[in-house]
Structure 1
Amino acid sequence: MSESQQHSPSSPAVPGGTGSLAGHRVARIGYGAMRLVADDRSSDLDWSGQPDEGAVRLLRRAVELGVDHIDTADFYGGGRVNQLIRTALAPYDDVVVATKIGARLDPGSPIGLATAQKPEELRQSVEDNLRSLGTDHLSLVYLRRTDIPPGIIAEGDQLVPVDDQLAELISLRDAGTVGAIGLGNVTAETIRHAAPAGIAAVQNAYSLVARDDEPALAACQELDIAWVPYFPLGGSWPGHPKVSDQPAVQEIATRLGVTTSAVGLAWLLVHAPNILLISGTSNIEHLEANLRVGSVQLDQAALAVLDELVPIVTDQAR
């Protein structure tokens, strides 16, 4: 990607410019739906217990502003997030809805999830997503593995070879139930091993302040696989640094007149052309701010500092 392509503002109608995902051209800034039903009292959403019109408004507003890539999972909100997406956007003619499998709800666990890695569990999870989204076809399904942290770790009979899992997903793809296969929480070695199966995208935790997976990102660039990082602003797990806590980021944000979040997300768009963002929020103002990130221009001085940034971990994160 040329320097002019990296730094020029994107069209407001295509947030972040365009990228490739599962055979579709999509805006590089999409929407991650995990927080759609988060109990954020400052949000635009309706917490009265009635049907969540606020969530529906937010989703429709995202699409109005050019979002055509929504990331979700049936286990988000116990299926409620998918049901809201269905109400707001079905039949998904102009939107790529990506979902993920490999986990199931477990209210007794620390994060409310347990692994569901067996092939028959993967198939059941696909069926659950089809039902809650109200469709007979999923454009993109991520197999959330447990090769690397963060998150739940597979044990015992949940330690399933990736080839067995891919065989199940290929069968679903051949049947037309699944359009494309993605991977999550995987190493560069797993990506290269699985690539012949036709991997469209990878989701790992990755941000300006958490770049341990640079080899996996490089593998995806080499293999023409989309990189869709979650926790793109860091700090979502104890001990992980936050983009907003970094003095260098704060200084650049002040100089450019933008938020620290905007700096962190804009750096991702510049860092590699195959990166697609799925920042999540339950607030329409925050949504609109995230979608403006494509117009943030990081100059060479800012990029030089950010590229060499050594994250500072605050006392609160330790």
Structure 2
Amino acid sequence: MPRAAVKLIVTGDDFGYCPRRNQGIVESFLSGGVSNVSLLVNGSAASDAAQLARRYHIPIGLHANLSEGSPVCPALKAKSTLLNEEGFFHGKMGIRRALADGLLNMSEVKHELTAQVDLFRELTGHLPQHMDGHQHVHVLPEIRNVFAQVLEDYGITYTRVPIEPDLPRCDWIDPHLMAFYLGVEKDSLNTVDVFRKHRIRWPDIYIGLSTMGKNMSIANILGAIDNATAAYLPEEDSSIPPGSPSCSDQETRSVTIELMTHPGYPSVPPVGGCGEGPDDFSQSWERLHELETLKKAELQSHYRTRNIQLCAFKDLGM
């Protein structure tokens, strides 16, 4: 494998979900475990999260949410195709079923995404440095086109494209989760051309599905980085004499990677969530497991010895 400089964005998702999530993500940032965060503006602790990001100079983007809790657009709160009978978003799988059944109004999707960008700017004082989708809704059919147009309208350059190298070979992932992840990857592959058309950018490599929750470990993180980098960069050509221009180019190559993470202390009901209380994953020990893994000094040491530089989307340039 060629010697490559790796720029690694470790994004802590769901900032603003609850005070305990915020506490854990800030601890992760201060310890070097995460380098970037993604804010849920309809989270119960979104305002607190924005203040913490300002206080600790945490690079922050928008975690656009169309699947959990309540909308922020006032016009959609009473009645909308985005809401179920209880008045909340349809849920991770519910939005996918509603979309497949042709029940979602894309103009309402645009109104909500626009309202979330505007609220993010109100809370933080600036536009998102990147924008992705909670539960990967931003790569869903039809929604992807609206999402891309909103990013272009606001001049938001970066997003996330969750296509993870070697995912099918990760046999430690529960089968039902693997089925969902492969569906996300299929949607993402069909989204690439849409994002390119709107001049939206994303890191070279995405990691996070194979290292999520209980599956996160130092070995899994480093293995995913190594495997992805090896697949992205060609093997070094041993026939090129040392010191030649081609050899020099290979030695100075760099690759950008985003590692999606969900660190934090488990939510304690009824506090937290996005309007309907915290979900099961947010209450589980897996959040704390991610927090403890990302904070380990051993992981930071491995980053240094492998020429892995932690950074944020704002560091990638335009």
Tell me the TM-score normalized by structure 1: 0.49
Instruction: Answer 1 or 2: higher relative contact order, Cα 8 Å, separation at least 6.
Output: 2
Tell me the TM-score normalized by structure 2: 0.49
